[in-house]
Amino acid sequence: MVRDRGARPSRTRSSIWDESDSETEWSAPQLSHRFTIETFMDLLTNAVESIQTGVEDYGVASRPRLLSAVRNIHAGVLLLYKEALLRRSPAGSNEALIKSRVKFVPDSKGGIAVVGVGVKTVDAHQILERFKDLGIITDTKLLAEITRVRNEVEHYYPKITQDALRGVIASAFLIIRDFAPRELGEQPRDLLGQDTWNAMLTANELYQVERADCDSALGRVSWESDTLSSGVGKIRCRECGSDLLQPLDAVVALTDVVLSCRACGAEVGAEEFVPAAIEEALSWDAYVAVKDGNDEPYGTCPSCGLESYVLGEGSCAYCGETADRECARCHRAIPLNEMGSAPLCAYCDHLMSKDD
Ligand SMILES: [Zn+2]
Ligand SMILES: [Zn+2]
Ligand SMILES: [Zn+2]
CA separation for the pair 146, 165 (Å, rounded): 10
Q: What is the pLDDT along the chain (356 residues), one digit of tens a residue?
A: 333 333 333 333 333 333 333 333 333 334 444 444 445 558 999 999 999 999 999 999 999 999 999 999 999 999 999 999 999 999 999 999 999 999 999 988 899 999 999 999 999 999 999 999 999 999 999 999 999 999 998 888 888 899 999 999 999 999 999 999 999 999 999 999 999 999 999 999 999 999 999 999 999 999 999 999 999 999 999 899 999 999 999 889 999 999 999 999 999 999 999 999 999 999 888 889 888 888 889 998 888 999 999 989 989 999 998 877 788 899 988 877 787 787 888 999 999 888 66
In this structure, the chain runs to a length of 356
66's CB contacts (< 8 A; 6+ apart) are 57, 58, 153, 160, 161, 162, 165
- Ion ligand 3: residues, Cβ under 5 Å: 327, 329-330, 345, 348
Ligand 2 geometric centre to CA of 339 (Å): 11
> What is the per-residue pLDDT across 17-74, written as a single tens digit (0 to 9) for each?
333 333 333 333 344 444 444 455 589 999 999 999 999 999 999 999 999 999 999 9
Q: Are 266 and 185 in contact (CB under 8 A)?
A: no
Q: Starting from the CA of residue 329, give the closest ligand.
A: 3
Ligand 2 geometric centre to CA of 316 (Å): 5
Nearest to 223 by CA among 184, 295, 154, 277: 277
Cα→Cα distances 41→13, 131, 196, 311, Å? 11, 21, 20, 53
Ligand 2 geometric centre to CA of 324 (Å): 13
Per-residue pLDDT, 343: 84
Written as one letter, the residue type at 28 is A
Q: Starting from the CA of residue 298, give the closest ligand.
A: 2
Nearest to 215 by CA among 248, 245, 253: 245
In angstroms, the first-to-last Cα distance of the chain is 77
36's CB contacts (< 8 A; 6+ apart) are 95
Per-residue pLDDT, 43: 92
Q: Are 270 and 249 in contact (CB under 8 A)?
A: no
> What is the per-residue pLDDT across 67-111, written as a single tens digit (0 to 9) for each?
999 999 999 999 999 999 999 999 999 999 999 999 999 988 899
Nearest to 49 by CA among 79, 19, 88, 70: 79
Ligand 2 geometric centre to CA of 261 (Å): 25
CA separation for the pair 235, 242 (Å, rounded): 9
pTM score of the predicted model: 0.78
Written as one letter, the residue type at 263 is A
Ligand 1 geometric centre to CA of 20 (Å): 37
